[in-house]
Amino acid sequence: MKILIYGAGVVGCTYGWQLSKAGCDVTVLVRKGQKEFVQKNGIHIICSDFREKVKKDTDIIFKPTVIDELSSNNDFEYIIVSTNKLQLSTILPSLSKSAGKANVVFFQNNWDVFTEIDKYLKPEQYFFAFPFMVGGGKEDKSIHCAISGLKYSNTPLGEKDGRITPRVEKLSIILDKANLKPVISNQILVWLITHYAVAAGLSAGIMSAGSASKFIENTAIIKTTMKAIREGLAICERMGINPKTEKANRLYLLPLFISVPIAKKIYSNDALQLMFDGHINHSPAEIRQMIDDIIDSGVKYAVITSNLAQLKSYISSNQTNKSK
């Protein structure tokens, strides 16, 4: 199976490396000017893998095929778009011209760009997935990643309309072969939209605390975070998306005296801490955009987002203090 990873980010390269180990022919699309460097040096990946009982640390040079231009007569079966949300508007026009017959898999946070995607691609050209079990960041051109082994860490994927199609099943088979725990969803949009609301609130809380380890020690910020997540989920309901249909959201709907101790236990997990710290340290612009998206949607759907706004103000004051 020929797979293109669109963008040499942490998540895309980690999944690409794992799919390559499972027998896929993996190509990575890099920015103009990077091709020769990546071809010569490969992609340095330092990985903490928690999928087995004992954590496995790996330091490898991943050497996929590298391209810096995509042609519409390409022979890829799947194009996995793993860039962050902020880059999507510049990618879509290019994809509309160059995707060819490949199945485009959007592998990123999404909240409000579904109609935007439809301006450039036909429904039969794309579907959605999410790299829920991988996270991390880049340092000195090296990728530092974690692969979670938690029960609910998996790779959800599915068609926008909920159908279970051969192309989704085929990708699921290869993800399973790579031990990336695919779960085919018949409501992938519900999963993505509610996850966005949760991730915005949770990232805001962790960023406010300064790190994942400080977050789990700060009961006040955890409480505010839980309430901020509920605000986001309330917006989802106003949008016609029912958060209760996804098991992962149930924690945030529990009374605080129950949810806060559970959250402390869950988020003390080593893999999650590495993933969270990687996200807040290396994707702060995307997190700020996610927070603003939820606050703006709160205005649109008449949901007060005072807790999320409070976390946003903590982040702003932290950054001001750091710059002094």
pLDDT at 14: 96
pLDDT at 322: 57
Q: How many whole angstroms separate alpha carbon 207 and alpha carbon 204? A: 5
The dotted CATH code for 1-185 is 3.40.50.720
pLDDT at 66: 97
Residue count of the chain? 324
Stronger pLDDT, 83 or 295, i.e. the higher one: 295
Residue pair 77/41 in contact by the 8 Å Cβ criterion: no
Q: What is the DSSP letter of 83?
A: S
Question: Is the pLDDT assigned to residue 323 strictly greater than 80?
Answer: no
Residue in the block written with tokens 């095929």: 65
Residues of each domain in the chain carrying CATH 3.40.50.720: 1-185
Question: Is the pLDDT assigned to residue 44 strictly greater than 80?
Answer: yes
Residue pair 128/188 in contact by the 8 Å Cβ criterion: yes
Stronger pLDDT, 307 or 248, i.e. the higher one: 307
pLDDT band for 113, please (50, 70, 90 cuts). Answer: confident
Q: Give tens-digit pLDDT for 268-281.
A: 999 999 999 988 88
pLDDT at 102: 97
For helices 284-300 and 188-209, the axis angle rounded to 10 degrees is 120
pLDDT band for 282, please (50, 70, 90 cuts). Answer: confident
Q: What is the DSSP letter of 130?
A: -
Q: How many whole angstroms separate alpha carbon 160 and alpha carbon 127? A: 6
pLDDT band for 84, please (50, 70, 90 cuts). Answer: confident
Q: What is the mean pLDDT of residues 13-27?
A: 97
Q: What is the mean pLDDT of residues 187-195?
A: 96
pLDDT at 321: 55
pLDDT at 279: 87
Q: What is the mean pLDDT of residues 76-88?
A: 92
The dotted CATH code for 189-321 is 1.10.1040
Sign of the four-CA dihedral 197, 201, 207, 212: negative
pLDDT at 141: 84
Stronger pLDDT, 44 or 315, i.e. the higher one: 44
What percent of the chain has a predicted confidence (pLDDT) above 70?
98
Structure tokens at 18: 């794992």
pLDDT band for 324, please (50, 70, 90 cuts). Answer: very low
Whole-number average pLDDT of the chain: 94
pLDDT at 227: 98
pLDDT at 48: 96
Residues of each domain in the chain carrying CATH 1.10.1040: 189-321
Cβ count within 10 A of residue 137:
19
